[in-house]
Chains A and B, each alone.
Chain A
């Protein structure tokens, strides 16, 4: 047993604790090379220092500043609607300092350009607004001129009236005094954003106590808001009022609402003249504005080419400096001291990288690399490839394995898709899944580079899981003989045939077996027969129990290998042995009965056998007897199970206590040779209960574990029945689904079924399988 080859996959990599002494001049390079290698985990030696007390805080700050600038560029580029090209640019690596200067230049340039174009934009907006106001407000005034109606008295009614003709006439009559400059009715025209018009009007009305007239017309063009650069709808208004005080009030309100006002001359010819002027200036401005935007876009485009590269570079630099901040300065301030974990196999690679760093930075002193002893438990590191990675992640989602603990993901690679398929089993759906998985795998290299949505990301990450799941589904589907829930005669003819012509319709009775059993899977003749469900249920329930017992046994056996690996004979003797006896004397026996019943075709009632095994073990089994000597065997098994419970409960805490007192005595009288060997035999237990051994705590812990196991054995076995239950459930859903809705529903069903089967398979692995052996408290 001990000379097994090293199990690379079964356990995490062996780690060693290393110390690096790096000369200052090559530190940066060394860390960045190590970062590219990704095989060394630095320990934070400055954890007690706040971030700004660390050594390289200035560099980190500079990187943060640079990434802020880069974010600014990105923002600007996306605002300008340019696509940042992903073209790989063959540009020599720029130094960080150079990049910093370059970025600052670009930023200043951009800010200046933005300020310029903002100024231009503002005056452009003003002119545009002026133009709109001229058009609209002018039309109010003009219409008043053409539709001149006979003069009327000023009265309250007219002012609260919105009728255009009336108001227009009023304007007309009262305009003339306004022109002549006497205090009479005057007006202010301007423009305000559409959302504020109502409130503006109300406020004016209130402030003037109704002594005013408000006219509005929506502007034809939308105006760009310079701050948010969104298009805003605006409304032109004209307010008529009288009095100097009212004017200042209105102006204040205008200001408060952010409305801008423009003078509109009442004289039509003058209006036309101004309009012309404004239009020509608008055209000029538009040209300059366009030129400015083109210029800016060009600058942005030139930045955009490098942007991706720069961003990744700044990020890398920041990571390097963050790592450097975790190192300690030597007393002499000439070199940095770093500590970290690395897998043993990577030693050569690390050393090569360090040498390269020394060489590249022309350092005279090499980097010293030596292995140290560490008190704490090392981190867990698994070497994975793109195939096993997803499975490792399924396990890691539950908890990262303790250092060198046996790794369940190895088994998960097969058992997970298999259990999934037992629930999912339908080769039609399986083919759909397979196609999906194949598409994902075929476009692997393409999809890997681009950003996907969170859902697609998940599918992509689990593409190999999907592949295996679909393959196993096809296999299970063939066994269940279901293609979109419909059986097919693929492997020859059914073993059953009608005795005469009358039975062919109903297919319920009158079938006789006339040839060898159906070659593979379930005979299609079961479909639609009256005994279909009882038969399939019994088959699948029993199968679930067999699978479950097998997987749980596997889990317990793994706990044996764990205990063996960590050299804890205590765990083997007082945990593994009673556990396996307990499980197998009850549920292992049930499995045995199931197999015997399948093989012999016996009519025995297994429920009855199992129940009466507990209730009255000595009673005669009668017709339920499956094999000779079943009764004594049952009694023995029952006794074994009953013995196993106290066996796993009591001895371990007492032995631990004895060991502890021995060690304690050993310490007071000086270390004895025997206690030393004891230590080596039980390093695990010794380490754990080293400092303060609290017997009651250990005992309660053990009690909880034992009870959990005993109850768990029952409930977990029952839990595996979900394999059958879900299968049955799917069948019903699918029958209904296919009958009622066609393709779309089937697709949704497919998705939902996949998800639910996936989740249940996940649970079976995390809870029922892994609780037997997996600690999952590593990092």
Chain B
């Protein structure tokens, strides 16, 4: 595909690119968010959303609304968009689209496994799963007792199977192991996705490598911060970092030995793109880090739309929609709990 993707791109993916750009135009704007932030009740939010693309999904909901219903219906819209695109896609775009959902699959697996560990009801857990990350036998995960069983019983049929090769142990599942499993899986997934995008070449490789590197770096930072003060050894910690990204390999060396958040900050400030993120935070603070990373991510995702003839737009659209749903969830929670002063704490404006 090198070099000539502009020539042949539209034959296969032109229609879908048009579709996805149309969807992007339907994302809520800053004006919408301002209006939403002024809402008094959830009904007001529903009314405002009824003028947006979420309208048809919310219109049949009876009046005492809950935040979960709003989020559920908005997610439904995302899922339907995704399914429509997946139906229309041809290779290699369809594989690319499927890759986008693997992250959710990992999260769902972890959710179910953790839930069964704490003896929650499977149906209840299933409802909490992200619909994009569902696969056929997901409910059977509850049966598994250890990682080996998990793999052998269920995951061998799913696309996640290859990622599991690194974490097959006979250890019993506990919170720590599950978290390590999640990060190992994620690492394998990101690396695989990265390789796949590189194989596609052209603008897709260029843009996706930027987006995925950012994702990998963010995960590395989060892993470092979260593992401070746990029994995870430095080597183990280093094993969880993905093998690409701006921080690879020297940043990883330094991150692996960090003992507190200010050391992490010291490492990250050496990298110009991340300097601005950390410069916004005061010392010793990690609360606002998530938001700062989200803002940076949204900025990068929006930039993906500036170029044509590449698959990055699909990834970017899905991520932006997810961010939008997170925003809506936050706003509705704030409205529902009468905490409107905190509404701006975690809302990331997309446009």
Where the two chains meet, the residues of A that have a C-beta atom closer than 8 Å to any C-beta of B are 50-53, 57, 60-61, 64-65, 68, 71-72, 199, 203, 206-207, 249, 252-253, 255-257
Contact = CB atoms under 8 A, between A and B. Distances in A.
B94 to A, nearest CB: 22
Contacts of B142: 252, 256
Interface in B27-81: 35, 38-40, 43-44, 47-48, 50-51, 59-63
B153 A207 contact: yes
Interface stretch (B133-141, B268-276, B325-333): B133-141
A71 B139 CA distance: 34
A256 B137 contact: yes
Nearest to B141: A256
A256 B143 CA distance: 9
25 contacts: A50-B35, A50-B38, A51-B47, A51-B51, A52-B38, A52-B39, A52-B47, A53-B38, A60-B47, A61-B47, A64-B50, A65-B63, A68-B62, A71-B59, A72-B60, A199-B136, A203-B154, A249-B143, A252-B140, A252-B143, A253-B140, A253-B143, A256-B137, A256-B140, A256-B143
A53 B47 CA distance: 11
A319 B13 CA distance: 42
B47 A57 contact: yes
A65 B143 CA distance: 44
A203 B60 contact: no
Contacts of A50: 35, 38, 48
B152 interface: yes
Contacts, number: 58
B137 A51 contact: no
Contact of A64 (B47, B140, B141, B153): B47
A87 to B, nearest CB: 27
A203 B63 contact: no
A145 B51 CA distance: 68
A76 to B, nearest CB: 12
A654 to B, nearest CB: 43
3 residue pairs, one from A and one from B, having the closest CB atoms: A256-B139, A50-B35, A52-B44
A255 B140 CA distance: 8
Nearest to A65: B63
B68 to A, nearest CB: 19
A24 to B, nearest CB: 23
B173 interface: no
Interface of B: 35, 38-40, 43-44, 47-48, 50-51, 59-63, 122, 136-137, 139-143, 152-154
Contacts of A60: 47
A203 B35 contact: no
Contacts of A57: 47
Given A50-B48, A64-B50, A68-B62, A257 B140 contact: yes
Nearest to B59: A68
A71 B56 CA distance: 12
Contacts of A206: 152-153
Given A53-B38, A64-B59, 16 more contacts: A50-B48, A51-B47, A51-B51, A57-B47, A68-B59, A68-B61, A68-B62, A199-B137, A203-B154, A206-B152, A207-B140, A207-B153, A253-B140, A255-B122, A256-B141, A257-B140
B60 A71 contact: yes
Nearest to A250: B143
Residue among A50, A64, A68, A253 with the most chain B CB within 10 A? A50
Contacts of A65: 62-63
Given A203-B140, A253-B143, A256-B137, A51 B48 contact: yes
Contacts of B136: 199
Contacts of A253: 140, 143
Contacts of A256: 122, 137, 139-143
B100 to A, nearest CB: 24
B49 to A, nearest CB: 11
A671 B39 CA distance: 51
Contacts of A255: 122, 139
Contacts of B48: 50-52
B345 to A, nearest CB: 22
A203 B122 contact: no
Residue among B47, B48, B139, B143 with the most chain A CB within 10 A? B143
Residue among A53, A61, A206 with the most chain B CB within 10 A? A206
B158 to A, nearest CB: 12
Contacts of A61: 43, 47
A64 to B, nearest CB: 7
A244 to B, nearest CB: 15
Contacts of A207: 140, 143, 153
A167 B309 CA distance: 59
Nearest to A53: B38
Contacts of B35: 50
A331 B39 CA distance: 25
B60 A257 contact: no
Contacts of B62: 65, 68
Contacts of B47: 51-52, 57, 60-61, 64
Nearest to B38: A50
Contacts of A249: 143
A249 B43 CA distance: 45
A190 to B, nearest CB: 16
Nearest to B112: A256
Contacts of B43: 61
Contacts of A252: 140, 142-143
A51 B44 CA distance: 9
A259 to B, nearest CB: 11
A52 B179 CA distance: 44
Contacts of A71: 59-60
A72 B62 CA distance: 10
Nearest to B39: A52
A65 B43 CA distance: 10
A106 to B, nearest CB: 14
A252 B142 CA distance: 8
Contacts of A68: 59-62
A31 to B, nearest CB: 21
Nearest to A256: B139
A575 B50 CA distance: 50
B129 to A, nearest CB: 13
Contacts of B154: 203
B144 to A, nearest CB: 9
Nearest to A255: B122
A415 B40 CA distance: 58
Contacts of B63: 65
Contacts of A257: 137, 139-140
B145 to A, nearest CB: 10
B109 to A, nearest CB: 14
A631 B39 CA distance: 81
A68 B59 CA distance: 7
A83 to B, nearest CB: 22
A252 B139 CA distance: 9
Contacts of A64: 47, 50, 59
Residue among A52, A61, A249, A252 with the most chain B CB within 10 A? A52
A57 B50 CA distance: 13
A71 B152 CA distance: 48
Nearest to A60: B47
Nearest to B44: A52
A53 B38 CA distance: 9
A71 B38 CA distance: 29
A403 B51 CA distance: 30
Nearest to B45: A52
Contacts of B44: 52
Nearest to A248: B143
A422 B349 CA distance: 58
B137 A203 contact: yes
B54 to A, nearest CB: 14
Nearest to A196: B136
A257 B137 CA distance: 8
A255 B138 CA distance: 12
A52 B46 CA distance: 10
B151 to A, nearest CB: 11
